[in-house]
Amino acid sequence: MIFKKKIVGSFLLAFILFLGSLTGSAVTASASTDVSKQSAAATKAAVPKGVFSYPSKFSKTELTAELKPEAVKLMKIYAESILTGKVTNFNKYVDKHVAEKASGNFLLGRKYNKDRYKQTVTANRKANKRSTRDAYARDLKKVTSKGIKVYYSSKKSNVASFQYSYTPRGWDAFSIVYVSFNFTKQENGRYVLESLRIN
């Protein structure tokens, strides 16, 4: 039975080669198109679900508006971290939305983002007494999309950055919170979120 399958396979291969000699470049072009489609699909699928990723022709104006509610989420997460010292929710956010470092993509990686955030939280908790931290965190939690400002937005050929700011009511300019989303363009043409910064 196995031997018979080999005979049938050889016959089909010979027949396909014969057709190829008749159709020439048409068959080659079709095969090339199929490979290109498969390659494009594989590249698109390579971006994990949840990771912020946008096509090269994305609208800076639209994305600026789209990321504003995300900035609010991160400010509330930061307020909780200042209050408790815990960074769990930020780490979860990074794992879901930030592109991971891998061979060939030269990204900073999730660990880098997590470590930098933890350092920021630790430093700010040490620099302020508990009563001040608690009051600040309480007021920061009241942030809304309407209350934050677009501090900076930029889209270039290989990178894009969006920064938002918020001053909790009753606090001075030294207490402004900034949230930055930094994107890097990959070989597939898509911009992926490489780093988040809160300070």
Cα–Cα separations (whole angstroms), residue 164 to 69, 74, 148, 156: 10, 11, 7, 18
What length does the chain have? 199
The model's pLDDT over 18-60, given as tens digits with 9 standing for 90+, comes to 445 454 544 444 444 443 444 444 344 467 889 999 999 999 9
DSSP E strands in the chain: the ranges are: 53-54, 149-155, 159-166, 177-185, 191-198
Q: Give alpha helix (H) positions in 98-146.
A: 110-127, 130-140
Enumerate the domain spans of the chain.
Answer: 2-45, 53-198
Q: What is the pTM of this model?
A: 0.75
Find all residues with CB under 8 Å of 72, minimum gap 6, and list them.
143, 144, 145, 148
* 116-158 pLDDT, tens digit each: 999 999 999 999 999 999 999 999 999 999 999 999 999 999 9
Rounded to whole angstroms, the Cα distance separating 55 from 42 reads: 15
Q: Are 98 and 110 in contact (CB under 8 A)?
A: yes
